[in-house]
Chain A
Amino acid sequence: MNDIAIPPLISAGIMIYVGFSHLLLYVRRRSHREDLAFAAVGVTAGLYAICAAGLYDVDSVAEGVVWQRWQVSAMALFSITFLWFIHEYTHSKTEPLLYGLAGFYLASIPVQLLSRKASTWDVNTPAIKEIPWLNVTYYEASAGWYTTLMAASILLAGLYVFRRVFHYHRQTQPGKSYLLVSVLVLFFAAAANDMLVSWGVYPFIYLLEYGFIVLVIFMTYSLSSILMAAETRLRRSEEKFNKAFHTSPDAVNINRLTDGLYLDINDGFTQLTGYTWEDIQGKTSAETQIWVDLNDRARLVQGLRETGEVNNLEAEFRKKDGSVSTGLMSARIIEIDGELCILSITRNISERKQAEREREALITELEFKNAELERFTYTVSHDLKSPLITIQGFLGYLEPAALEGNIEQLRSDMGRIRGAVEKMERLLDELLELSRIGRLVNAPEAVPLEALAREAVETAQGILDQHNVVVEIAPDLPTAYGDRVRLREVFENLVHNAAKFMGNQAAPRIVIGTRQDGEGCVCYVQDNGIGIDPQYAERVFGLFNKLDPKTEGTGIGLTITRRIIEVHGGRIWVESAGEGQGSTFCFTLPRKPHPDREHST
């Protein structure tokens, strides 16, 4: 082998090696097509260099022109791959010029390899060049017009590439553009040199195969710097993700979509659930029973499978200690080592939910209170107006009666007016009384109800004797907790009420006792009096409601009683089989201090 053929072969080896290594890179990275294009550039440049080496190693023009044809074909292939590479590298849009040039080069290959006409190579005009000090002789033919046209078009393509790359580098990496431009200048200088040598201007050495090396090495450097930048970016992004993952105060975890196997959790997760990585490693979310309702996870998985994302899913989670908290979860699908996984971020909203519940309870209570107040105001205005109408109405009759001398009517009407005034006074007194109940004046204490019932019966002895009522007090009455004076009032009112509505019962009897039912311990005051039609059972507690307008009193007694019970946190109701069947007033009372009502105002 001719010595001068060795350097081009070495450069061919380097370029083909670079080409294949980029092919491997492409196979690994997949997403970067410029890797593939550059692999093609390397390989085709290598092919060109091999052809150059072949040309140095021949002994006749006939053999030389065969290598020349192969060499120009390799050049055409190189031009196509180089245009492709530049196109991918600069992310430019495809232009018709590119297609035209590539098509022309592709068509040139069969022309060069098959056509034996002088339009490609003029074998009859050998261009044997001798370089005496190297002892080398090139056995070449002169280029025909077609080959010259190809050379010119390659120069044109070179100018296009030059412009593209220059623009691209100026826009993206201004610092590097001068280096690239100088490499391209060197490359084109080598190409121009080869043309001049080929035309026989001077018998100097061909340089293009070395120009390729410069180009390929530079592009390798450029590509690998892009790669390194991408890797740095990846590393930084990974670091960012890692820091975000582990710093988040919210619970973040990654688990397998199919079964919920935990792959990673952060400190926020430990705070929310109580589970550390050691607790949870190798377990699935089902095994840890972290989902209070597994359907929530099913909803999450379904949402992720459908759209790849789930936002603000509210679910309850069981902590390691068994307590339950409410979380607001957003999740995305991510792929880790080819497996679909869930990346979820969960915020603990238990406190917010608790506050919401409390607020709603408060609103409901306020609404109830407000409605009660409205009813109260309505009733009061109504019932206070009633005696005024009486007073005004009869006032109108006083004068005519006086003028007529109708003393009897005058007296009777004055009596009615007086009665209305007294009624009004009573109503006002009782309203005042009712308004006072909201404030427990006496400190709550443990009150034995049996003693209290006895006191109440003593107080009501007058009316009891009047109706000959027998009272029986059960010995097992419990001890309640509350305002002693007010609670005695409850018994007084109920006993008084029972005695009042005995009707014409021959053996009037009141039983004060206690029983156990669904509400717990229920106290009752039972009588065998006139009873109450069950449809009016609720009405008897209403302010100024009286079932019989002829009875004494304003109809506030049971309202006050109910108010006292409610202020203590209990409940009162009346049971009766109907009229004539007697009534049983039942109530519940707290057995121990109620934290909220301790200092009720």
Chain B
Amino acid sequence: MNGEPVVLLLVEDNEDHAVLALRSLQASPVVKHVVHVRDGEEALDYLYRRGAYTDPKNSPRPHVVLLDLRLPKMDGLEVLQRIKADETLCRIPVVVLSTSEAEVDVARAYAYHANSYLVKPLNPKDFPQMMTDLGFHWPGWNRSPGMMQSGRRHGV
């Protein structure tokens, strides 16, 4: 591993779910830094470096966004829409992480150009496994335009 450290932005209002995700992600050899925000507005503040995140040192550009759909204030779909409509943010892979298995949610997320859709698993073993795999796949194996430019990054 070289180049800048891999940053993951976790947008999750449920404290317990955030802890579950963080436990696995922090164990990941790829992800170096997980930023946890609690609602859609905060997520955009972070991405646009506003409010508490004006200092670029505190708000490195994330390599992947892990986005819950049901958020207070601005909901996840709207955040997704904003990110994908923005010229500077649209290339950041956004992985939707939702409790919902509803077809309509999956369809809507993809209609707004989500890069992936994950359903929070209802199984003690699956949640950590999913997070571990995610930590390998998206910031690791996956290639996206921004990364190619800023140098190279190998898998693990």
Do A and B bind? Answer: yes
Segment from A129-137, A243-251, A540-548 that makes contact with B: A540-548
In the complex, what residues of B have CB within 8 A of residue A396's CB? 123-125, 127-128
Contact of A416 among B19, B39, B72, B100 (CB under 8 A): B19
In the complex, what residues of A have CB within 8 A of residue B128's CB? 393, 396
Do the beta carbons of B124 and A382 come within 8 Å of each other?
no
Chain B 14-45 interface 0/1 with A at a Cβ cutoff of 8 Å (1 = within): 11110110010000000000000011000000
Do the beta carbons of A548 and B72 come within 8 Å of each other?
yes
Segment from A82-90, A311-319, A383-391 that makes contact with B: A383-391
Contact of B16 among A385, A419, A533 (CB under 8 A): A419
**Interchain pairs with CB closer than 8 A, number:** 64
In the complex, what residues of B have CB within 8 A of residue A539's CB? 73
Bound-complex Cα distance A539 to B120 (A): 24
Nearest chain B CB to A415 CB, angstrom units: 10
Do the beta carbons of A378 and B125 come within 8 Å of each other?
no
Bound-complex Cα distance A382 to B124 (A): 19
Nearest chain B CB to A423 CB, angstrom units: 9
Contact of A389 among B99, B102, B125 (CB under 8 A): B99
With contact pairs A382-B100, A547-B73 given, residues A393 and B14 touching in the complex (Cβ less than 8 Å): no
Do the beta carbons of A385 and B99 come within 8 Å of each other?
yes
In the complex, what residues of A have CB within 8 A of residue B16's CB? 390, 393-394, 416, 419-420
Bound-complex Cα distance A394 to B24 (A): 12
Do the beta carbons of A385 and B122 come within 8 Å of each other?
yes
Give the contacts of A375-408 with B (CB-CB under 8 A): 378, 382-383, 385-386, 388-390, 392-397
Q: Does A549 contact B (CB under 8 A)?
A: yes
Do the beta carbons of B23 and A397 come within 8 Å of each other?
yes
Bound-complex Cα distance A397 to B72 (A): 28
Q: Does B70 contact A (CB under 8 A)?
A: yes
Do the beta carbons of A533 and B124 come within 8 Å of each other?
no
Give the contacts of B87-120 with A (CB-CB under 8 A): 99-100, 102, 120
Do the beta carbons of A533 and B73 come within 8 Å of each other?
yes
Interface range on chain B: under 10, 10 to 19, 20 to 34, or 35 or more?
20 to 34
In the complex, what residues of B have CB within 8 A of residue A550's CB? 38
The residue in B16, B70, B121, B125 that gathers the most chain A C-beta atoms within 10 A of its C-beta is B16
Do the beta carbons of B13 and A549 come within 8 Å of each other?
yes
Bound-complex Cα distance A396 to B122 (A): 11
In the complex, what residues of A have CB within 8 A of residue B124's CB? 392-393, 395-397
In the complex, what residues of A have CB within 8 A of residue B15's CB? 549
Q: Does A277 contact B (CB under 8 A)?
A: no
In the complex, what residues of B have CB within 8 A of residue A547's CB? 72-73
- Closest residue of A by beta carbon distance from B128: A396
- Closest residue of A by beta carbon distance from B39: A549
Q: Does A536 contact B (CB under 8 A)?
A: yes
Do the beta carbons of B72 and A545 come within 8 Å of each other?
yes
- Closest residue of A by beta carbon distance from B102: A378
Do the beta carbons of A390 and B17 come within 8 Å of each other?
yes
Nearest chain A CB to B19 CB, angstrom units: 7
Chain B residues at the A interface, C-beta cutoff of 8 Å: 13-17, 19-20, 23, 38-39, 70, 72-73, 99-100, 102, 120-125, 127-128
- 18 A-B pairs within 8 Å (CB atoms) are namely A385-B120, A386-B14, A389-B17, A389-B99, A389-B120, A390-B20, A393-B16, A393-B127, A395-B124, A396-B123, A396-B124, A397-B23, A419-B16, A420-B16, A533-B73, A539-B73, A548-B72, A549-B38
